[in-house]
Structure 1
Amino acid sequence: MGCLAGLGWFILLVAVVNIEAQNKPPIKINSKCLGNLLRVDVSRLGGSFLEVSVVINNSSIILTPSVSSQCGFTIKKDHQGNAVIYASIQNCFARNVDDKAFTTKLGLRLQSDNVVEDEFYLMEDTCYYSPWAFREIICRPNYMEVSVRSEVTCPSGTKKDDWNSLKPAHRSTTSDWQVMFQTDDEQLPPINISDARKQGYAFLLTEGRLVFRAPYGQPESFSTEVNGVPVETVHATIFSRQSWVVLMVDLVAACSMDEGLYNESGYMLWETPEMLYPNLDGQQINVGLQGQLVAQPVAEERGYIVGKQNNTIQICIPENAEGRYRKSAVEDDLYEFYVYHLYLEQILVDEDRVETRIRSLRTLATPLLPSPIFAENQTVLEENMFTVYLGDVPEDVQLAAVHLNGQEFTVPLSVSSFIITKVVHPNNTHGYKLKVPFEDPVVLQQFSKTDALHYILNINYTLTVLPEKDLYYHMESVVALVTDVSPPQFDAVCTESGISFKLDHRPFDYLWEITIDSDLLTSELADQHGYTMINDSNSLLLEVPLFSRGYEYKNVSLKGFFGTFEIIMRDLETSEVQGSTIKTCPFSTTELIMCSTDGRMTVVADLALAIPNGGNPARTNLRDKYCGPKETDGSRALFSFSLNSCGATVKLNSENVTYENEIFYSKKLLRPSQVVSDNAKERVTMQCTYPLSGLHRLFSVHRFESDAAGIGSLLHTTHPAAGLQSPTIQPTSALTTTLATTTLSATRRATGSYKPALHPPSRYVKVTRFRYPTNTRFRYPANASYRYIWPTLNKGVRQSLQTKLNAAHI
């Protein structure tokens, strides 16, 4: 045989995949040929256990860890829980065709607790690899492999050590192949190949190559340091003696055991001695991740740093290198680490141009690095809601739930008043934006002494790390401070028919309740009192007609009067008054009657039909002729007097007390030259009615006390031709308690006309106390207490008193 030299190389990679399954597979299987390695990715496992076996002639051999390391397989899970299988194309079970085509058939069994029957899949792949280097070495995480041509070479020189290893082989008396291991300081006795296989070694003789594979940590291997880098070496020499001829092949595999070092610059550093194999030089380096190799210049363009120091090759992998894995972990806090499946190829040649190719596949991992998640308060007060952003959440971490002030809400949310939105970023991170309205019941509120309102939201994010589902909690507390907190204030506008109030809603207005006097303003109350109320999400509009309940009146004259309406704001919890909106507007009307809060009756009456032609309204008076008008014009008169004065009569029933008086015209004191036609057609009666249930100590004291306003009425009734000169005329129409909401017109009826009362409501009405002298002759005054005295009298006395009251017009 002649001497062979490496004259160049050419690699052809072709992958043929055949996947068979009993059922439609829920998993995904991909395979790829990477030089003299086959890679198989099995994903979508869903937490199931994957059993991998090799199928040979319809039988299968399960790849246990020991079988895998002896026969050239590496099985592991990646950061996502998927399985990754690496197989040497020269594995123990590969079908080899001319040392060019290598077929491996795997059986994949998926086992799960919630599946009755296992799922089984067959995967077959053929890798084509050519040409081979004279010597090929693979350094895998669980084994070392060396493959050499089976042809005899002619070395340029022979050293003494080579002859030393030949002596034991020459003394051997067997023709079977034997192996002799040599450690760092001794040479072990030879053993049969079959015995070596039992110890975990693999020997394979193909048509043109001899393969030797050894798991790490074997007793016959030895560890040392070369230039400070840990190295494991196995040195085996196989031989066979044929008569006086000894065939011997020297097999050496040396692999760097460096686990890598992560530096502060963000690089993962891995080292291997430059010259693990003596007499080899002219090194060429290709490097990459995940089995993808690129030439050194290309790698350096991608951020790798490839250099030499102290006869040591240093590979620096950037943290963000394409193909690296990132993984989150929980250790009291959230951390991350990076995993690099380094693939390094070294091509060496000796002085005879014989090529050695070394491929190292090492899995490197950084230590746990802090992976801080931040929360940013993006709240804008004008939006009336919290906006909190949780950022820098790694891609393998998901939000599972949030606790808001102690209340748990799982994600995704069901129906809720707040929302959580996922925000994805191009750097493989994402975030979550949480929006919670200030008015949400889950939000805490606190008032300070400086009239500031604090909205408080304590957030506890529950995050889960996939696929392990480890839980991590991130807590954040945000506060929104509203400094212009004050009771609501209405904008008020005077209208012809009343007062219009408008309130623009603020997010915290619900902290107060709005009342009219002491009654809560509701749609029912508005309907009851004749208000018009429109309330939506933006504003509250309240139209209060004149003379409806809640008004107070001042400066009443024939020209007009002032009406005042007040809306009160009370503390929601204590009901204490904290503010109000008061609006006073000028009004004018033809007629009105007011039963005021201080026990007075104020009347503006149109007397155009109640006085004779040529008569002067100033000549009118009430039943008491000394009670005249305060002010008059051409046809109207203004009277204002105490309810129990000016000859008023009092009527009682089981529910109400009514004060009544009339307007009369007097012809007395007219000069002879004054001629007045007695053609009056109407008489005017005025009444104020109060509910007994709201009166306190009626007539027993001077002070008039009523819980409710009096109901006033002005009655224009047909009058005999004699005119208004007798105070004995009685009303001809029934008392009404209807409240008027518009001014009275001058409309009359031929037989009689009715005008409803115009009156302001009263919150609390009181009258001065009155006591009778003990030596005064008993006469029931208009303010006598029927409630307390009347029931104590016998029937005859009551009839006599009633007759006297009627005769005296009290």
Structure 2
Amino acid sequence: MSDDYDRKFQITNVTMNGETMIQESDVNAVINNVKVVNNVDSTMYDRSQCVMYTGFLKTECRDSVFWVGLNKDFLAGKFWQINVMDLSGYLFHVTPSFASMCGYTIAMDSRNNIEFRASVLSCCVHTVDDEQFNLTVQIQVGTDQVMASTYIQVLSCMYSPWAAREIFCEENYMQVSVQRKIPLIEEDYAQDAEDWSSVLPEAASAESGIWQVVFHIPGGKRSMTVKEAHQMNYGINTTVSRILLRAPYHTNEAQVVLVQGVPLSVIRSSTFYKQHWMILLIDTAIACPIDGITFTDHTIMWTVPRIFTPIVTSAVHQDNTSMGVNGIKLDPTRMAERNYTLDKNDTVLAIRVPIGGQDGYYKSYVRDEQYGIKYSINLFLEHMWEDEAWGLNKINVIHPATTPFIPQPLVLTDESVPDQWLFNVTLGNFLPDVELDKLTLGSQSFPVDEPNQMFHVYNWTISNETALNKIFILEVPMESPVVDRKYIGDGVEQYTLDIIYTLTVVPENMIFTHVAHLIHKHKIVLPVANGFCDEENMTLIVTHGTLDQYWIPFLGNVLLTPHSAEQSGYILRDNGTHLILVIPHDAAEVVHESINQQGLRNRFDFRLKDNKTLDVLTNFSVSCSFSTADLITCFPNGRMIITALKLEALLGIDTGKMMLRDETCRPKESDAFKAIFEFSANSCGTSRRFEKDYMIYENEVVYFKESQPASDPIYRLAISCHYHVNDSLHIQFEPQVNPQPTVVPGYGPIVLVMQLAKDVLYSNLYEDGDYPVVKYLSDPLYFEVQLLHNEDPQIELFLQDCWATASPDRESHFPQWSIIVKSCESKADLQMTIFHPVTSNERVRYPTHFKRFEVQMFAFTSGNLNTLLGQVYFHCSVVLCKEPVNGLLCPGQCVPGKQRMGKMSN
């Protein structure tokens, strides 16, 4: 059987500006009156919006198929649709149901371009003598679902001669066309009596003058008119010499039949036309393979029956088979070049193609959060045979084959350059349809389509699109905030980068992630230090290392800044290569290690901590011994003043609970760091002994555990005073009458301020602009009186009197209410004034310069006890004393006249 089918292809360009028109007169006549049909709606088509452009599409005739390719780059990010035009000028939108009924297919090729395929016998094709076929295609393209541009292409293909029966198996439909010429009567003509007997009852009762179809289904028959068949999505049509039946694969009348182990979709039908005097009966049975694909690791094999027995009713004399791809037949030379084979035996035909061949394509997929690929190829089979019933038969099959999911382990390549302080990591390998959407670095997420100084992303794709060839390169400076940096000891610093890649397969929008954990270590130069002491100060000199910008200094557990050093009386200097710190030996951050015969051993700790995690990088300590002479004072009259310091090993003890041998002798003064005892040589359990020429008085300061008071003390400080026995002390005494104390006026700034706090912690004060402050009855008012601009720690401020008035005049008596009277709470007030202690903090340097008290909000009343609404003004008079005063202020004797340095009111 010769393959002498004549094929001719021509493209007729259409422009709507009148310069170029369609050459075929019948098509040209309808261009001026184009209508759009979508289901039952129709609208006029405005030809003024047409733009002729063929650069984004290619057209071709492939056997009995119109082929149109639309460029993916032109359609990227746009809305588009394809319409076809019939001879009446109506446009039909090619939807999936319309396509399967009318012989159209929209698919995607190996490079993600759009393919539009149409049978030469499809619905809107204009046929000339069953040899020339013309189709007008309209393509609309726009954005935001608004079709802004319209393109029209008129296709013309030649196809002849036809086989007596031609079957076309597309992706989405099956189609059979047969000759409907009435043959001459021959001597050996044999009537198909069985088929006539099955159809004759329906034909006999059918209406005349219309085409009808009878479907043979298991257990019976189902007949319907052509109109009814159309409503069931069948396509039935006639041309000059042929009758056509087209159907989707899974109609109610279709059956799945296994032939040689291959499932076929089979529709058994007879189509007939009845006149009063005759019935024209045509066999329109059709069968198409719906599977037969098997896979090995490297090969796709497609098996189909050599004889489609459901539609072959007589002996086959000879057959001829060709294979191809994408609807194009391949000659043996090209098949050999591409390692394709076509084998056949008495029962089956087998096509084998290698996975990854050039005519197919790979596509990315995601399954269970794992990335993988599938390989697809659009196989084509043409099989022709001759038999006694039909003569020449031809079946063309377009059958896409797609491999199962092939997982692809991702490859993470760390090409970081430590010397350049740069993370450089590559993630691959992907197909070009994978996009990197988002990066999560550490705990922060970033879209990759926005510029960012913390990292850079690049992608690289090799031109061969049938292989895994796309990679993503990520560069992150190690100094970036998203990198976790940690000192791990021995002069080594560790840099950690946690990455979550969020990727998407387009255009399906399948999302998957990949996690990476990168660690790099750097050898660094650590800072070194040297320390020394003089009689008053302790000094530390630190030589910087290589990464000091990442570490912050602490003195003990207190952050050391130029401001805090200045506030504490420290010297802190940094010249870029060295840091110098000088602090007094009795500074608050100095710890007392021990007291022994060498003296008082003091130490301070200088720590460098990570500026993110505050982990200690290194610790430098300066430890020196100082004289204990200042801790013991022995007076000639036998009085002894002892300062007991809290040692480092006993940081948790309460110095106020220290005692001498006589447990009733407790500290005269104490704070968090020391306790001061003052006693006479003949008290507090002091013992006396003689040694050579000395009389020695001895005692000891002890501290017991509160839970074990009968046990040995956990702190014991032995003290002694030595007096030379033979020494004489000459004292000159001259009586003198002291003058009466007077207040001597002096000159200097004394500035007082009284402020209202927002809470009992006095951490937040009202500003000047906040007054007057609105308060409700019984609300607490927290007052603070402060001496400003005075650096003398021995001065103490005392409240003498405080009162409230209903006017700004502090001397006003109508009305007036006393709050503090002679340093005590007002007895007339049912709600007693509460005094609050003042402790040192960043704002309070000298607590003795402050006094705080609390009263409850009240309102003045008139003579008839009516409440007076308005503002209340508070006033205080204070006394400044030179020396700290022990005890409570009540009843006022705590501020004797001889101590008064001055008096001001605020």
Q: TM-score band (shorter)?
A: 0.5 to 0.7
Counterpart Cα distance in 2 of 1:470 and 1:32 = 34
Q: Give distance in 1, aligned partners of 2:51 and 2:217.
A: 54
For 2:223 and 2:161, locate their aligned partners in 1 and report how far apart those are by CA, in whole Å. 33
The residue aligned with 2:173 is: 143
The aligned counterpart of 1:131 is 161
CA distance in 2, matches of 1:284, 1:394: 39
Contact preservation (8 Å) 1:286, 1:296 = no
1:9 paired to 2:41: no
Q: Cα distance 1:387–1:191, how it changes in 2: closer, same or farther (>3 A)?
A: closer
User: Which residue of 475, 478, 485 corresponds with 2:518?
Assistant: 478
Q: Give the whole-Å Cα distance in 1 for the aligned partners of 2:173 and 2:347.
A: 25
Give the Cα–Cα distance (whole angstroms) in 2 for the partners of residues 47 and 249 of structure 1: 46
Once the two structures are TM-superposed, the CA of residue 419 in structure 1 deviates from its matched residue by 2.1
2:301–2:352 CA contact under 8 A, matched in 1: yes
Q: 1:293 and 2:329 equivalent?
A: yes
- Matched with 1:69 is 100
SS at match of 2:194: helix
- 2:498 corresponds to which letter in structure 1? N
- Give the counterpart letter for 1:433 in structure 2: I
Choose the corresponding residue for 2:61, options 33, 45, 57.
33
Deviation of 1:49 after TM superposition, in Å, equals: 5.7
Output one character per residue of 1:34-77: Cα deviation in whole Å (capped at 9) or x when no partner: 21111234441525263634343222234444433232122356
Structure 1 equivalent of residue 505 of structure 2: 465
1:510 is displaced (CA, Å) by: 4.6
Task: Look up the equivalent residue of 1:90 and give its one-letter code.
Answer: L
CA 1:12–1:52 in 2, change beyond 3 Å: closer, same or farther?
Answer: closer
Which of residues 250, 257, 267 in structure 1 aligns to 2:283? Answer: 250
**Which residue does 2:744 correspond to in 1?**
none
SS at match of 1:313: strand
Counterpart secondary structure, 1:11:
strand
Residue 358 of structure 1: how far off its partner (Å): 1.2
| 1:703-782 equivalent positions in 2, closer than 5 A | none
Q: Which amino acid aligns with 1:224?
A: V
Equivalent residues of 2:526, 2:544 under 8 A apart: no
Helix, strand or coil at the partner of 2:161: coil
Which residue of structure 1 lines up, in the alignment, with residue 880 of structure 2? Answer: none
Map of 2:424 onto structure 1? 387
Question: C-alpha displacement at 1:470, in angstroms?
Answer: 3.5
Amino acid at match of 1:355: L
Show structure 1 runs of 5+ residues with no match. Answer: 491-500, 522-528, 536-540, 550-567, 581-597, 599-770, 779-787, 789-810
**Cα distance, 1:169 vs structure 2:** 6.5
Residues in 1 aligned to 2:125 and 2:491: alpha-carbon distance in whole angstroms: 83
How do 1:249-328 and structure 2 match up within 5 A? 249-258=282-291, 260-261=293-294, 263-276=295-308, 277=312, 278-280=314-316, 282-296=318-332, 298-308=334-344, 311-328=347-364
Deviations 1:700-723 (A, max 9, x none): xxxxxxxxxxxxxxxxxxxxxxxx
Alignment-derived partner of residue 372 in structure 1: 409
- Quote the Cα distance in structure 2 between the aligned partners of 1:410 and 1:193: 57
* 1:214 equivalent in alignment to 2:265: no
Q: Which residue of 2 aligns with 1:84?
A: 115
In 2, distance between residues paired with 1:462 and 1:170? Answer: 67
1:302 shift after superposition: 1.0
Compared CA separation, residues 6 and 196, structure 1 to 2 (3 A): farther
Give 2:477's aligned amino acid: P
Number of equivalent positions: 552
- For 2:319, give the aligned amino acid: Q
AA of the residue aligned to 1:209? R
What CA deviation, in whole Å up to 9, does each residue of 1:348-370 have, x standing for no partner? 23479943221111233333332
State the identity %.
23
**SS of residue matched to 2:471:** strand
1:75-95 alpha-carbon deviations (Å, 9 max, x no partner): 356798865322111112211
C-alpha separation in 2, matches of 1:511 and 1:36: 78
Change (3 A) 1:378 1:384: same
The answer as to 2:132 corresponding to 1:98 is: no
In the alignment, the residues of structure 2 paired with residue 295 and residue 247 of structure 1 have an alpha-carbon distance, to the nearest angstrom, of 41
> Partner of 1:306: helix, strand, or coil?
strand
Between the aligned partners of 1:577 and 1:775, the Cα distance in structure 2 is 57
Instruction: Say yes or no: does 1:441 pair with 2:477.
Output: no
Report if aligned partners of 2:237, 2:243 keep a CA contact under 8 Å in 1.
yes
Q: CA deviation at 1:401?
A: 1.9
Residues 183, 222 of structure 1: 8 Å contact kept: no
Q: TM-score, normalization: structure 2?
A: 0.51
- The 1:119/1:519 distance shift into structure 2, 3 A limit, reads closer
Change (3 A) 1:776 1:154: farther
Q: Distance in 1 between matches of 2:482 and 2:95?
A: 55
TM-score (norm. length: structure 1): 0.57
Matched residues in 2 for 1:38 and 1:488: separation?
A: 80
Measured after TM superposition, the shift of residue 428 of structure 1 is: 4.9
Pairwise mapping of residues 55-204 of structure 1 onto structure 2 (< 5 A)?
55-76=86-107, 83-110=114-141, 114=144, 119-151=149-181, 162-167=192-197, 172=203, 176=209, 178-179=211-212, 181=214, 183=216, 188=221, 192-193=225-226, 195-204=228-237
1:522-560 deviations in whole A, cap 9, x for unaligned? xxxxxxx9x998x8xxxxx89x9xxxx9xxxxxxxxxxx
Deviation at 1:323, TM superposition (A): 3.6
- 1:303 match: secondary structure: coil
1:407 counterpart residue number: 444
Tell me the distance in 1 between the aligned counterparts of 2:360 and 2:424: 35
Specify the SS of the correspondent of 1:69. Answer: helix
State the distance in 1 between where 2:60 and 2:340 align. Answer: 24
Paired with 2:59 and 2:456, the residues of 1 have a C-alpha distance of: 43
Match of 1:430 among 461, 470, 473: 470
Q: 5+ residue gaps in structure 2? A: 17-46, 530-541, 563-570, 583-605, 627-721, 732-793, 795-906
CA–CA separation in structure 2 for the residues paired with 1:39 and 1:69:
16
Letter in 2 for 1:95: H
- Summarize the Cα distance change of 1:203–1:504 in structure 2 as closer, same or farther, 3 Å threshold: same
Q: Secondary structure at the match of 1:165?
A: helix
Aligned-pair CA distance for 1:294: 0.9
Per the alignment, do residues 233 and 415 of structure 1 end up closer, same or farther by CA in structure 2, a change over 3 Å counting? closer
Higher relative contact order (CA 8 A, sep 6+): 1
Structure 1 residues 170 and 450: CA distance shift in structure 2, 3 A: same
Deviation at 1:155, TM superposition (A): 11
SS across alignment from 1:92: coil
**Structure 1 residues 667-687: Cα deviation after superposition (integer angstroms, max 9, x where no partner):** xxxxxxxxxxxxxxxxxxxxx
CA distance in 1, matches of 2:468, 2:188: 58
AA paired with 1:289? Answer: V
**3-state SS in 2 of match to 1:336:** strand
- How much does 1:398 deviate? 1.0
> Structure 2 vs 1, CA of residues 88 and 576 (structure 1 numbering), >3 Å: closer, same or farther?
closer
Q: Are the equivalent residues in 2 in contact too, given 1:6–1:354 (CA < 8 A)?
A: no
Tell me how far 1:258 sits from its aligned partner: 0.8
33 and 448 in structure 1: CA distance in 2 versus 1, 3 angstrom threshold: same
SS where residue 468 of structure 1 aligns? coil
How far 1:237 sits from its partner (Å)? 3.4
Quick one: structure 1 residues 393 and 245, their matched pair in 2 at CA, closer, same or farther if it must change by over 3 Å? closer
Cα distance change on mapping 1:308 and 1:80 into 2, 3 Å: closer
Query: C-alpha separation between the residues in 1 aligned to 2:170 and 2:362?
Result: 22
TM-aligned CA distance change 1:576 to 1:285, over 3 Å: closer
